[in-house]
A and B are shown apart, each in its own frame.
Chain A
Amino acid sequence: MTEWLSPEEWTAIRLSLKVALVAMAASLIPGIAAAYALERGRFWGRQALDVFVHLPLVLPPVVVGYALLISFGRRGPIGAFLAENFGIVFSFHWTGAALACAIMGFPLLVRAIRLSLETVDRKLEDAAGTLGAHPVWVFCVVTLPLILPGIIAGMVLSFAKAMGEFGATITFVSNIPGETQTIPTAIYTYTQVPGGEGGALRLTLVSVAISIAALWISEWMARRVRRRFLA
């Protein structure tokens, strides 16, 4: 295995997987909360939240990356605050790549969960209320299991987006081998140097394999959930 991939390539693959998994996991709970708020909430500023959540989908990735750089960078207001008080550093660090990927994938995650929330029969939640259930309990025991297929779909989209994220990542955290160089930025680097075609091609194949595996796993999980929970 190791012979046909160079150590640099392995590093990029490992880092990509780490960044994508962390981005996906970290955005899951905020994603469910945002989807629930947007679908069910009746509050002032809902429209604004909707626009804000969807911005990364329509903005050029470089713009998102630059916005992250000036707000979460070492000298940015949020970045400086987090670094001084909690020691959390995003800029030119793999956590910054994860943050950029999480934000770019967030609208896709929220949309998938929101779509499945739309299809939940509100009477099921009403019935739980009349049977004595607290709204939080209703959400955990009734709503959550029913939207699980949507959550899985959203997680896959978020993971896939993170695996492919380029513009925001390279703008925010640059392209440092071993620290912030993910598969896409590594491929880009290989195409810029003479004799790099082999590395680019190998990483492309790995990328395709990971994507197919992710799709297959999600399909398998969704089928299991549907068989277990739904008609």
Chain B
Amino acid sequence: MAHVSIRDVRKAFGTVSIIKGVDVDIQDGEFVILVGPSGCGKSTLLRMIAGLEDISSGDIRIGPRIVNDVPPKDRDIAMVFQSYALYPHMTVAENMAFSLKLKGVPKPEQKKRVTEAASSLGLTPLLDRYPRQLSGGQRQRVAMGRAIVRDPQVFLFDEPLSNLDAKLRVQMRAEIKELHQRLKTTTIYVTHDQIEAMTMADKIVVMHDGIVEQVGAPLELYDRPANRFVAGFIGSPAMNFIEGRLGPDGLGLPSGAVLPLDMKSQAEAGSEITYGIRPEHLQIAPAGTPGSIPATISVIEPTGSDTTLIVKAEGGNLTVVLRERCALKPGEAVALKPVPRQAHLFDAQGKRIATA
């Protein structure tokens, strides 16, 4: 196990800058998820940590040593790929023993460690099969087994669940988390799926366009997003945003309604700001309720456990999630009342400006 530190790391392909100065500290034993939309540089950063990609400037440390120029084989890491990267010409057991064979571990010891890892992953009956004879979930488990057997300082996962179907993804998510709790090996995990990030991580690093937007615990990011990008990226359905002008009585909305604000903000009166509110923090009130957002129901999506409403308001669509069932109909006029002290305000640059 090891502490990983990334200091002002940059990467450019020719004149195109992919990573524009990233600083992240990963504690010993921590489960850190790099999350962001495709093209944000998260996979490149992971490959740089693995040594599969050169770094243009900055330092990466694994444990006490700077590994900038250390080849992947000497970094004491193990990486799990989205495509599993299993060797088609080797059996499950041979795939899993790959790193031990390289280290020259004696055969009986190899067999013992492979057997242990296989039984912890439920792979024992599959040891003599070839990867082509396995399902996607089984292949993913073999790839994880191969990494576990290496017993590395750091596990690196590159979108390991993206090729699996939704149900299996949920199951594997729990298995990986359980694995980490058991082994306590420092883990860096890349995904574009914010739900994966929220459910698995000790700490999330939100990346966008080659920079780190925010680093924090899952609920910290959810409750106090540092900027509009993080606010919109974390949470599903996504946060609602309404552009408005700050007035003496509150926020002037495009429809002319004024929404009272129950939070301190550093913004000056008259400035244009963005009002952000999560779908579960909007309540349905009778049309015309003062201090609310006038809206018309557009689509109702019952999921059983809750109900998602798409409503037309302030020149766009807003999303509302109700925990209880409702007797609303499409086309009905309603008012949306924000739950007190749950809104987020962002300035014109998208920076968070209010504290609830």
Residues of A that sit less than 8 Å from B by CB: 121, 123-124, 126-134, 137, 142, 145-146, 228-231
Closest to A124 in B: B85
Contacts of B78 in A (CB 8 A): 130-131
Contact at A129–B73, with CB atoms within 8 Å? yes
* Count of chain B residues near A, Cβ 8 A: 29
Which residues of the other chain, A, contact B71 by a CB distance below 8 angstroms? 129
**A132–B102 touching, CB < 8 Å:** yes
Contact assessment for B85 and A132 in the assembled complex, using a CB-CB cutoff below 8 Å: no
Q: Which of B50, B88, B146 contacts A230 (CB 8 A)?
A: B88
Of A121, A126, A229, which is within 8 A of B89 by CB?
A: A229
Chain A, Cβ-Cβ closest to B143: A127
Complex: A137 Cα to B72 Cα, angstroms: 13
Query: Can you spell out 27 A-B residue pairs with CB atoms less than 8 angstroms apart?
Result: A123-B85, A124-B85, A126-B52, A126-B72, A126-B85, A127-B79, A129-B72, A130-B51, A130-B52, A130-B75, A130-B79, A130-B156, A131-B78, A131-B99, A132-B74, A132-B99, A132-B150, A133-B73, A133-B98, A142-B87, A145-B89, A146-B89, A229-B88, A230-B89, A230-B132, A231-B88, A231-B132
Q: Quick check: is B83 within 8 A (CB to CB) of the other chain?
A: yes
Q: Please, which residues of chain B bring their CB within 8 A of the CB of A133?
A: 73, 98, 102
CB-based nearest A residue for B71 = A129
Could you tell me if B102 and A130 are in contact, using CB atoms closer than 8 angstroms? Answer: no
- B88 in contact with A128 (CB, 8 Å): no
Chain A residues within 8 Å of B52, by CB? 126, 129-130
Residues of B within 8 A of A129 (CB): 50-52, 71-73
CA distance A43 to B146 in the complex (A): 34
B residues less than 8 Å from A229 (CB atoms): 88-89
Within the assembled complex, what's the spacing in Å between the Cα atoms of A129 and B103? 13
In the docked arrangement, what's the CA distance between A133 and B150, Å?
Answer: 12
Which B residues, 57 to 116, have Cβ-Cβ distances below 8 Å to chain A? 71-75, 77-79, 81, 83, 85, 87-89, 98-99, 102-103
* Chain A nearest Cβ from B191, distance in angstroms: 17
Complex contacts, A134 vs chain B, CB 8 Å: 73
Are B146 and A131 touching (Cβ within 8 A)? yes
Known: A128-B98, A132-B99. A146 touches B150 (CB 8 A): no
Identify 15 new A-B residue pairs, CB closer than 8 A, beyond the known A131-B102, A132-B99: A123-B81, A124-B85, A127-B79, A127-B146, A130-B73, A130-B78, A130-B79, A131-B78, A133-B73, A133-B102, A142-B87, A228-B89, A230-B88, A230-B89, A230-B132
Q: How far is the CA of A146 from the CA of B89 in the complex (A)?
A: 8
Residues of chain B touching chain A, judged by Cβ–Cβ distance below 8 Å, are: 47, 50-52, 71-75, 77-79, 81, 83, 85, 87-89, 98-99, 102-103, 130-132, 146-147, 150, 156
Contacts of A231 in B (CB 8 A): 88, 130-132
Q: In the complex, which residues of chain B have a beta carbon less than 8 angstroms from the beta carbon of A128?
A: 98
**Chain B residue with minimal CB distance to A230?**
B88
Q: How far is the CA of A145 from the CA of B74 in the complex (A)?
A: 24
Residues of A within 8 A of B83 (CB): 121, 123
Give the distance in Å from the alpha carbon of A126 to the alpha carbon of B83 in the complex: 12
With a cutoff of 8 Å between Cβ atoms, the chain A residues found around residue B85 in the complex are: 121, 123-124, 126-127
Residues of B within 8 A of A146 (CB): 88-89
A-B residue pairs, 4 tightest by C-beta: A231-B132, A229-B89, A129-B72, A127-B85
Q: Which of chain A's residues have a CB closer than 8 A to the CB of B51?
A: 129-130
A229 CA to B146 CA, complexed, in Å: 19
Closest to B83 in A: A123
A132 touches B81 (CB 8 A): no
Cα separation A21 to B98 with both chains bound (whole Å)? 36
Cα of A133 to Cα of B100 in the assembled complex, Å:
10
CB contacts (< 8 Å) of A123 on chain B: these are 81, 83, 85
Contacts of A137 in B (CB 8 A): 102
Chain B, residue nearest A128 (CB): B98
From B50, B87, B150, B156, contact of A124 by CB (8 A): B87
Q: In the complex, what residues of A have CB within 8 A of residue B146's CB?
A: 127, 131
> Nearest Cβ distance between residue A7 and chain B, in whole angstroms?
47
